[in-house]
Amino acid sequence: MNRDQVLNALFGESWKAEHLEADHFYGRASVGNQEVTVIGTSEKAEVGADMALTMARVVIQTIKERAGEPIVFLLDTQGQRLRRRDELMGLNGYMAHLAKAVELARQRGHVIVSVVYGEAVSGGYISTGMMADACYALADAEIKVMNLPAMARITKIPLEHLQELAKQSPVFSPGVENYLRMGHLDAVWEGDYSTQLAASISELQAKSRAEIAVDSRIARGVERGGRKAAGVVIERVLGHA
């Protein structure tokens, strides 16, 4: 599903673009009886310093001008931009600034939902979608930290061995179903996307800020059989802190 298709499926004619480029966009739309701010990437965008700064600015503008308005991230990104210019500018700082802006929005009472409709990889996803209060993906989307051939080159572990590990553990495996098993995704959406988005926003708005602040991803991963040891390891580390 491309950008135009997902915007139409989620918002119909209520979508109003404020800025639209090939690789990123933002604007506003109606979900149920309320307005939401929409920020997104497209065409497997590389998130560089400029784009991170733009997205952070939109988040901060929403905080200043539209108190409590829900924020929806729509994502199709191949990760952070691997360019000398961006690295010399301090891309990690720009990504951190974006993540902090999203956290500030949460603290100021904005509920935040992310939907992966294309691809979501590495830093381009961590500083946006993974910061959300609720994370979703469409069934035909793809989420991964690093593909197995690249992982083999970096770790010097034979590709064949990684492929065998991927069959046993979702931690090594790309794909939305594996991220669902690990507890990262709240759900994988199929069917009526607009109704599911409205239900997600309503569910979040019915919770207290304290309830939203609880990170339940590890517990979900244990329940779904995707991260069997994570909870135990965390408890041991905290016990020796």
Domain membership of residue 63 (yes or no) is: yes
Structural domain for 26, as ranges: 3-213
Domain membership of residue 168 (yes or no) is: yes
Enter the pTM of the model.
0.91
Here the CATH number for the domain that contains residue 61 is 3.90.226.10
Percent of the chain scoring above 90 in pLDDT: 69
Domain membership of residue 89 (yes or no) is: yes
Closest CA to 36 of 84, 71, 77: 71
pLDDT of residue 73: 98
Domain membership of residue 48 (yes or no) is: yes
pLDDT of residue 167: 79
Helix 91-107 and helix 49-65: axis angle, to 10°?
A: 20
pLDDT of residue 10: 98
| Locus of tokens 């729509």 | 74
Q: Is 40 helix (H, G, I), strand (E, B) or coil?
A: strand
**Residue 186: pLDDT band with limits 50, 70, 90:** very high
Domain membership of residue 225 (yes or no) is: no
- The strand ranges marked E within 122-164 are 134-138, 142-144
The residue with greater pLDDT, 168 or 211, is 211
